[in-house]
Structure 1
Amino acid sequence: MPRCSGARGDTVDVYWIGLDKYGGCDGLIKVVGERYLCEEDWEVVESTKDERTKVQRLVSRALRRWVLAQYEGVEGKELAFGKDDKGKPYLRGSRTGVEFNVTHTPSVASVCVGRDRAVGVDAETTSRRTKGGVERIAKRWFSQRELSKLEDMDSPGGTSEVPRMRRFYRLWTLKEAFLKATGLGISSGISLRRCAFDFEDEEVETGESISTKIRFEILGGERGGSDNPVPPEPTLLGEDWGFATFEPRRGDIISLCWRRKEDESAQETKDTLVRPFICTITPEGEITSM
C-alpha cells in the first residue's frame, strides 16, 4: 500500500483509519484532537452527547485536516472549510485544486481526495441492522435488477446471509458515494432506483484489493419525468463517473465515486486511478499512513 505522497492530478486517493479500539474521547483520542482540531471542530465534537459518535467526529475531522495538509503544504489547523449551495463541504482557498469527501461509521473513518475532480466516499459496517431490515430499504431505493439479484441470494439454494449483506452494503454505499460526489441528496429529486449498479466480480476481497469492475447507468435516460426530475447540473451520464469499492477489514465496506476527466478512459480508471492509504494513530497522538 502506498505512502501518502501529496497531490497527483491523475489519482483518487482514499485514506481510512480503524476506530473500534477507541472507547472514548479521553486519553489518546483527546491528544489527537488537541494536535489537529481547531475551535470550530471542538464545538461540533463537544456538542455530541453519544460517546462513540463523538469519537467518530473527532477522528474524522482530525484525519481530514491531516490529509489535506499533506496536499496543501500547510498546517492542518490553518485550513478553512465552507459549504456550497448544495451543502457539500469544500476547502476554502485551495492552492492545489483539491476536492475531498468524508465518511465515518462506528468502526472506520475515511477521507477521499481528488484534484480538480468531484469525489464522494461512503462507508458502512455489514453487521449493521436497520429497522425493518435491509429489504425495506432495498425495495424503496434499489432498481428492479438490483433487488432481484439481492432476493435471489436469499432464495432456497441461494448463498448465505453474509454475502447478501455485503452485496447490499456495496450497492448502498455506491449510491451514497454518487450522491455525495455530485452534491445531490435523496431529497434532490433524483431517484436512487434509477442509479443502477452491477458487479463484474461478485465478491470483493478483504484487504488492499479494490474493485473497480462496476457497471453504472442512469436508468430511463439522463432526465426523469415531471414527478422525478434529475437536475441538469452536474451532468448525470453514467460514463462521466468512476466507481470503486473495497473492504479494508472484514465487515467494513468503503465505496468511492469520482468524476472522470475528459482524457480518462474507463480502462485507465480501472487500471491506475485509485490509491488506498491505511492510517494509524501513534502513542503520541500523531496520525501516520502506511
Structure 2
Amino acid sequence: MFADHTASKLILNNNDLHVWLIEPAKVSDGKLLNTLKGLLSKTEIEKVQRYRLPKAKHTALITRAFARSVLSQYADVSAQKWLFNIGPHGKPEINHPPIPLSFNLSHNDDLIICAVSLDKNIGCDIESLSRKISIKAIAQRYFSAIEFDALMALAPPLQRRRFFEYWTLKEAFVKATGMGISQGLESFNFTIGKAKTDQFNDNIRLSFSPSCTEQDNQDWHSYLVYPDQNHCIALCAKTKNINTPLPHKAPLNVQLFDGLALLNRY
C-alpha cells in the first residue's frame, strides 16, 4: 500500500499528491515521545497541554510533530524550524516556505493523515466507516438536494459507506478552499461513480450552485482512498494556481506513505 521512501528527501512533482498516514496509538515509546515534543514550538506545546484527556493530548502531540516531520521530507528545513500561519477560517499554512508546499491535516480516533502537494489548494478528511451517526438527518441538513436524493436511492446497507464518502469529500473541499463550513456545504455537490479498485476512486465529479465561491469544476480534482476496510479518506485539490499548469484535467499522482516508519527514524 505504501510507496517506497528510502531517499533522504522526496521529490514532489507538480502532478503529485502525497498522503502520509500514521496510527498514533503505535507511537508509545517514551524516548520517542520526548523527542517529538522537542520538535514543537512553545505555542504548540501549550495547546497540547490544554487537552484534558490523555488520548486527545497524545494525538495532538503526534499530529503536530508528524506534520513537521513530513514537511521536512521535501525541503532542507529541520522539523522544529517550520513556521505556520493560521488562515482567517482556521486553516494552517506554512509561513514563507522555501518551495511552494501546501499541506493539510485530518485525524480521527485511529489515524492521522497529512496531505502534501506543490502550489495547490488542498484539503483532506478521514472518517471511520463504523462511526454511529444519524445518516438521514445529517444528510438532509448538510447535503445538496442532488446528494441527498442519490443517497436515499441506495439500498439501506449501502447508505452508510456512501454517506461518509460524501461527508469526507465535502469536508476536504471546504478545507481546500480555506473557508471551512462558511463555504456552505449545500452550495456544491459531488457525484460519485464506480471505483476501478477497492482502494481508490477517482471517478468523482464536482459541481457548484450559483452561491458557491467556486464555479469552474475543471480546476478541481477529487479522490477517495480506502487505507483499510474501516476508513475512508477524501482528497480535494485545486490546480488552477499551479505555476506550471497541468494538461487540462490531467489526473494527479496520489501516493500513500508510511508515517510510522518516518517517526521511528528519530
TM-score range, shorter chain: 0.7 to 0.9
Contact 1:14-1:112 within 8 A present in 2 as well: yes
Q: Which residue of 2 aligns with 1:200?
A: 193
Q: Which residue of 1 aligns with 2:50?
A: 47
CA distance in 1, matches of 2:32, 2:161: 30
CA distance in 2, matches of 1:147, 1:204: 25
Aligned residue pairs, count: 257
Q: Which residue of 2 aligns with 1:265?
A: 248
**Letter aligned with residue 146 of structure 1:** E
1:218 is aligned, of 169, 183, 208, to 208
**Letter aligned with residue 68 of structure 1:** L
- SS of alignment partner, residue 100 of structure 1: strand
- SS of alignment partner, residue 265 of structure 1: coil
The CA deviation at 1:265 is 2.6
Identity %: 27
CA distance in 1, matches of 2:123, 2:247: 18
The CA deviation at 1:50 is 1.7
* Residue 274 (str. 1) matches residue 254 (str. 2): yes
**Letter aligned with residue 39 of structure 1:** K
Contact 2:108-2:128 within 8 A present in 1 as well: yes
Distance 1:128 1:204, change over 3 A: farther
Q: Which residue of 2 aligns with 1:147?
A: 148
Q: Provide the TM-score with structure 2 as the length reference.
A: 0.87
CA distance in 2, matches of 1:251, 1:28: 31
CA distance in 2, matches of 1:146, 1:29: 44
Deviations 1:1-50 (A, max 9, x none): 3234243222111111123556xx77366245335333222211111012
Instruction: Please report the RMSD computed on the Cα atoms of aligned residues, expressed in angstroms.
Output: 2.4
Distance 1:147 1:81, change over 3 A: same
Q: Which residue of 1 aligns with 2:160?
A: 165
Contact 1:17-1:108 within 8 A present in 2 as well: yes
Distance 1:148 1:32, change over 3 A: farther
CA distance in 2, matches of 1:192, 1:217: 12
The CA deviation at 1:203 is 8.6
**Letter aligned with residue 11 of structure 1:** D
Contact 1:56-1:105 within 8 A present in 2 as well: no
The CA deviation at 1:174 is 0.4
What pairs with 1:1-290 in structure 2 (closer than 5 Å)?
A: 1-4=2-5, 5-21=10-26, 27=30, 30-31=33-34, 33-34=36-37, 36-130=39-133, 133-153=134-154, 158=155, 160=157, 163-186=158-181, 188=182, 190-201=183-194, 205=198, 209-219=199-209, 223-224=210-211, 230-231=212-213, 235-261=214-240, 262-266=245-249, 268-269=250-251, 272-281=252-261, 286=264
Distance 1:265 1:184, change over 3 A: same
Q: Which runs of 5+ in 2 are unaligned?
A: none
Contact 1:66-1:287 within 8 A present in 2 as well: no
Distance 1:244 1:59, change over 3 A: same
Contact 2:204-2:222 within 8 A present in 1 as well: yes
Contact 2:115-2:123 within 8 A present in 1 as well: yes
Q: Which runs of 5+ in 1 are unaligned?
A: 225-229
CA distance in 1, matches of 2:3, 2:195: 26
